[in-house]
Amino acid sequence: MEILILPSPSHAERLAARLVADRLRAKPDLVLGCATGRTMEGIYAELARMHAGDGLSFARARTFNLDEYVGLAPSDPRSYHHYMREHLFSRVDIDPANTRLPNGAADDLPAEAFAYEASIAAAGGIDLQLLGLGSTGHIGFNEPLSSLMSRTREKALAPATREQNAPMFGGDPAAVPARALTMGVGTILEAREVVMVVTGAHKAEILATATEGPITAMVSATALQLHPRCHVLVDEDAAARLQGREYYQWMFENEPEWEAYRS
Ligand code: GLP
């Protein structure tokens, strides 16, 4: 794992978008794992800008999203299907047929979860997985005690997660669906590269726990410490509680891999 500390949230978002763009240019049929949440909005806006201004093409790309609320139809404006259309799919040249999210409105959720895993495998696996970090330390919707080997399945949401996501449901945590279909921690760990983006002072404590704390199923993001190619992009505020911040800063300023990304 590497932690890159950037001066501001928009610097972190732009760097994440540049990494996606570089991987996409190197492999036009990239399999991109998409996340949702407020942190991702700036990344998708930057990718849309690169499409419009720099000719970045998603024409051959395929995407798989992490999760979807159970009970929300893809047409529901609060669904992650809607979120993805609004923030990315409608703003770039991706073929809608190549975009997949779990269907939270499926009648048979275990069958849907199984089919979702099968379609990721049929696509050859995920090349680059984008992640945000939930306030419970979750990745996707892998709430406390999620098995670190879990696969796509239905999961009950923690009260803190419903609280965090209440603004998208009129401010009422009780209006947030109680369950979600989510890729498992094991599914996420199989992505060939992972980019997690974490910004804001409110994430400082959970970021330190997730990256520098012991690996535990209580905090599913700690499993990323096992991943051989995981980059964590953070802003100064989110980095405030990191014990190793001086080393991480030195690493970003000196490692040849990041030279092109420092300006
Ligand atoms: C939701 C998603 C997560 C995301 C998290 C962070 O819970 N299921 O995948 O990482 O939100 O959200 P935000 O970026 O709004 O803080």
Any atom of ligand 1 within 6 Å of the Cβ of 177: no
Say which residues have a Cβ less than 8 Å from residue 55's Cβ, sequence separation at least 6. none
Question: Does ligand 1 have an atom closer than 6 angstroms to the CB of 222?
Answer: no
**Alpha-helical segments (H) within the chain:** 9-26, 38-54, 80-87, 109-122, 159-164, 185-189, 204-212, 245-254
Query: How far, in Å, CA of 155 to CA of 143, rounded?
Result: 8
Residue 96 and residue 59 in contact, taking contact as beta carbons nearer than 8 Å: no
Of the candidates 48, 44, 46, 91, the residue with the CA atom closest to the CA atom of residue 65:
44
What secondary structure letter does DSSP report for 137?
S
pLDDT of residue 263: 79
Q: Establish whether residue 132 lines the binding site of ligand 1, counting it when its CB lies within 6 angstroms of any ligand atom.
A: yes
Question: Does 65 sit in the ligand 1 pocket, CB within 6 Å?
Answer: no
**Residue written as token pair 């849907």:** 112
What is the distance in A from the centroid of ligand 1 to the CA of 206?
13
Q: Closest residue (by CA) to atom 9 of ligand 1?
A: 140
Residue 232 burial by CB count (10 A; 0-12/13-18/19+): exposed, middle or buried?
buried
Residues 6+ apart with CB under 8 A from 185: 139, 140, 142, 146, 147, 148, 149, 150, 220, 223
Q: For residue 205, what pLDDT is reported?
A: 98
Our mutation pick for probing the ligand 1 site, out of 87, 139, 165, 179, counting the most ligand atoms within 8 A of Cβ, is 165
Domain architecture of the chain: domains with CATH = 2-261 (3.40.50.1360)
- Closest CA relative to residue 49, chosen from 17, 85, 16: 17
Coarse DSSP helix, strand, coil percentages of the chain, rounded to the nearest 5 percent: 45, 15, 40
Q: What pLDDT score does 50 carry?
A: 98
C-beta of 137 in contact with ligand 1 (< 6 A): no
- SS3 call for 20: helix
**Pick from 15, 7, 12: nearest CA to 39:** 12
Intra-chain end-to-end CA distance of the chain, in Å: 22
User: Which is nearest to 253 in space by CA: 17, 1, 7, 19?
Assistant: 7
Give the predicted TM-score (pTM) of the model: 0.97
- Collapse the DSSP code of 179 into the 3-class scheme (helix H, G, I; strand E, B; otherwise coil) and give the result: strand
Nearest CA to ligand 1 atom 1: 37
The alpha carbon of 167 and the centre of ligand 1 are apart by a number of angstroms equal to 12
* Separation between Cα atoms, residue 162 and residue 169, nearest integer Å: 9
Q: Is the CB of 165 under 6 A from ligand 1?
A: yes
Number of the ligand 1 atom closest to the C-alpha atom of 35: 9
Cβ of residue 104 lying under 6 Å from some atom of ligand 1: no
Any atom of ligand 1 within 6 Å of the Cβ of 66: yes
C-alpha 84/C-alpha 101 separation (Å) is 9
* Ligand 1 atom nearest residue 131's Cα: 10
Ligand 1, atom nearest to 67 Cα: 8
Residue of minimum CA distance from atom 10 in ligand 1: 132
**Tens of pLDDT, residue by residue, the chain (263 residues):** 999 999 999 999 999 999 999 999 999 999 999 999 999 999 999 999 999 999 999 999 999 999 999 999 999 999 999 999 999 999 999 999 999 999 999 999 999 999 999 999 999 999 999 999 999 999 999 999 999 999 999 999 999 999 999 999 999 999 999 999 999 999 999 999 999 999 999 999 999 999 999 999 999 999 999 999 999 999 999 999 999 999 999 999 999 999 999 87
Q: Is 60 near ligand 1, meaning CB less than 6 Å away?
A: no
